[in-house]
């Protein structure tokens, strides 16, 4: 379902601290703007089979979130290719596509369109989204008035409206209050127990062990180890002294 082939991701960064667009333009026109490249991912390759729950672990800055964004199509890699069979539902930054000036009702259609859902599908699933998010009394309120938890609940409810063929999850199994955490966790578990292929990132190694078939350990943008979830998680914990 997912074939990642020799992915390399470089970011172009300025050497000097520049605080405004005007300063950037002036520095560039004067020929004094200097850059360096930061390699976030280096020649990363792996495959994930249909129905597999595949984990990504590593320290902060290892490149996990960057890799998920490349696979999701949010970032285009410097080198390499990603081949995916099926519809992707990326649960990365819930609510990132929302317009704060629009109501939750309007954002359901906006965010659904960004995820590739038709208006007809959203029409048929609208009440289900509202019921699951538990935002019924606030559905016509601009989301600028929402708490961060309410925004995440709405984003989760939209993203899981259908059973996707590929689900990409980055540290979002703690959405909202305890009641909604349990409910969203059960929803995720039902997707993982089905035929959905899951790419899962978490710092909770116990959770990774319980949910994943195989695990990839990233370190400084490179593959440190890949294989059975127990073996890779044990090796990772040994490396950090836990």
Span 195-235, pLDDT tens digits: 788 888 888 898 888 888 899 999 999 999 999 999 999 99
Q: How confident is the model at residue 145 (pLDDT cuts 50, 70, 90)?
A: very high
**SS3 for 41?**
strand
Q: How confident is the model at residue 51 (pLDDT cuts 50, 70, 90)?
A: confident
Q: What is the mean pLDDT of residues 37-49?
A: 92
**Closest Cα to residue 167, out of 191, 185, 151, 187?**
191
CATH of the domain at 17: 3.40.50.300
Domain encompassing residue 63: 2-239
How many structural domains comprise the chain?
1
pLDDT tens sequence across 119-130 = 999 999 999 999
Instruction: Sort 218 into a burial class: Cβ within 10 Å, 0-12 / 13-18 / 19+.
Output: buried
**Closest Cα to residue 195, out of 121, 85, 68, 82?**
85
What's the pTM? 0.75
Q: By the 8 A CB rule, do 208 and 200 touch?
A: yes
Q: How confident is the model at residue 85 (pLDDT cuts 50, 70, 90)?
A: confident
């Amino acid at each position: 379902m997912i074939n990642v082939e020799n992915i390399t991701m470089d970011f172009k960064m300025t050497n000097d601290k520049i605080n405004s667009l005007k300063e950037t333009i002036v520095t560039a026109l004067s020929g004094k703007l200097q850059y360096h490249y930061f390699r976030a991912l280096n020649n990363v390759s792996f495959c994930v089979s249909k129905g597999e729950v595949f984990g990504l672990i590593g320290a902060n800055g290892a490149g996990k979130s960057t890799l998920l964004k490349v696979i999701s199509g949010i970032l285009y890699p410097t080198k390499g290719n990603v081949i995916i069979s099926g519809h992707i539902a990326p649960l990365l930054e819930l609510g990132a596509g929302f317009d704060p000036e629009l109501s939750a009702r309007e954002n359901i259609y906006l965010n659904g369109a960004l995820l590739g859902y038709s208006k007809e599908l959203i029409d048929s699933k609208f009440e289900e989204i509202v019921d699951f998010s538990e935002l019924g009394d606030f559905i016509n309120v601009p989301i600028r008035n929402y708490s961060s938890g309410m925004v995440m609940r709405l984003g989760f409810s939209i993203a899981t409206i259908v059973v996707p063929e590929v689900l990409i999850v980055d540290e979002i199994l703690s959405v909202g209050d305890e009641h909604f955490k349990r409910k969203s966790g059960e929803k995720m578990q039902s997707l993982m127990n089905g035929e959905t292929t899951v790419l899962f990132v978490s710092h909770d190694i116990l959770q990774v062990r319980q949910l994943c078939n195989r695990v990839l350990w990233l370190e400084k943008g490179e593959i440190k180890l890949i294989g059975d979830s127990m073996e890779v998680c044990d090796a990772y914990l040994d490396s950090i002294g836990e």
